[in-house]
Amino acid sequence: MDQQKTSKWALASIGFGIGAVVLLLLSGYGYQWGWWGLGTAFTWLLPASGVLGLIGFSLAIIFGFARWNSPDRSGTKVAMLGVVLSLAVIGTIGYWFNEAQQYPPIHDITTDIANPPTFQAIVPLRADAPNDTTYGDADKAQTQREAYPELQTFYLDTDYDQAYDRALAAAEQMSWEEIVNADKQAGRIEAYDKLPWFGFIDDVVIRVDTSSTDGRTAIDVRSVSRIGKGDIGVNAHRIRQYLEAVQNQ
């Protein structure tokens, strides 16, 4: 009878751990599938998954103390799995919360702050997006300069045709959702990327230009989130990855 009661502690631990994982995943995928809004996901479901994870971990600890007094009680492996699942959820939430504190609350990043590349083909796709394509004011520009000083116009010592082909090849190499438009005459490439879990969509525009350079071609990139005040550094990271791909072409 005692063994059965102790096993229930272990089973409860893994039950709460599984529940925490499911709720954590559904908080994002449910929003992506249109089951609930972003406020529900962030305000209720994510915190609730963390609470379930804490309960699952606590129940495993209780089981551990119970087994310390009675080593013959079963359920160790089950409780250990409950701990792993619970800590995975707690760690995931803690990681993203910490990441959010490391980056400025901006969502529009470009290599040319003074004259950001503009969107055209993407604009109709953003019709319902909370964020528009206006780059922002001087304060936001200064915030980007301070946060990402390394993001600058990228120059290639090649003619326009070769530079554009390299820029397009690099864009096709990226794991972006879709290249919406590639206009060689206008020197513009537009694409969007869909993030996993919550399914947030970020738009990218690439400008290839020789008008202000002598014997070189300038490549500028802009990456903008459709929703959210901040981006946890995703847009800047995307631009870095793309420019590295151009350089390696």
Of 81, 102, 123, the last residue of a domain is 102
Give the pLDDT of residue 72. Answer: 64
Q: Could you give the 3-state DSSP secondary structure of residue 53?
A: helix
Same domain for 13 and 134, yes or no, is: no
Do 118 and 75 belong together in one domain? no
Q: Are residues 97 and 203 in the same domain?
A: no
Domain range for 87 is 2-102
The H or E element spanning position 224 is: strand 217-225
The one-letter amino acid at 38: L
* Whether residue 120 sits in one domain with residue 73: no
Identify whether residues 236 and 118 lie together within a single domain: yes
pLDDT class for 76, splitting at 50, 70, 90? confident
| Predicted confidence (pLDDT) at residue 215 exceeds the cutoff of 90 | no
Give yes or no: residues 242 and 126 share one domain: yes
| CATH number, position 117 | 3.30.310.80
The answer on 153 and 69 residing in a single domain is no
What is the pTM assigned to this prediction? Answer: 0.89
User: Are the beta carbons of 10 and 62 closer than 8 angstroms?
Assistant: no
pLDDT at 93: 96
- Domain end marker among 50, 79, 102: 102
Average pLDDT, integer, range 117-128 = 96
Do residues 60 and 183 share a domain?
no
Whether the pLDDT of residue 212 is over 90: the answer is no
Which comes out higher in pLDDT, residue 9 or 221?
221
Same domain, 90 and 112: no
Interval 208-229 mean pLDDT: 90
**Amino acid (1-letter code) at residue 136:** G
Give percent of the chain above pLDDT 70.
94
- Under the banding of pLDDT at 50, 70 and 90, the label for residue 73 is low
CB contact at 8 A, 225 and 199: no
* Boundary of a domain, candidates 46, 70, 102: 102
Q: Are 79 and 137 found together in one domain?
A: no
Cα dihedral 205, 195, 46, 24 in deg (nearest 10): 180
pLDDT band at 9 (very low <50, low <70, confident <90, very high): confident
User: Is the domain of 168 the same as that of 67?
Assistant: no
**Average pLDDT value for residue range 144-171:** 96
Look at the chain and report how many structural domains it folds into: 2
Same domain, 237 and 114: yes
Cα-Cα-Cα-Cα torsion 97, 100, 105, 111, nearest 10 degrees, comes to: -160
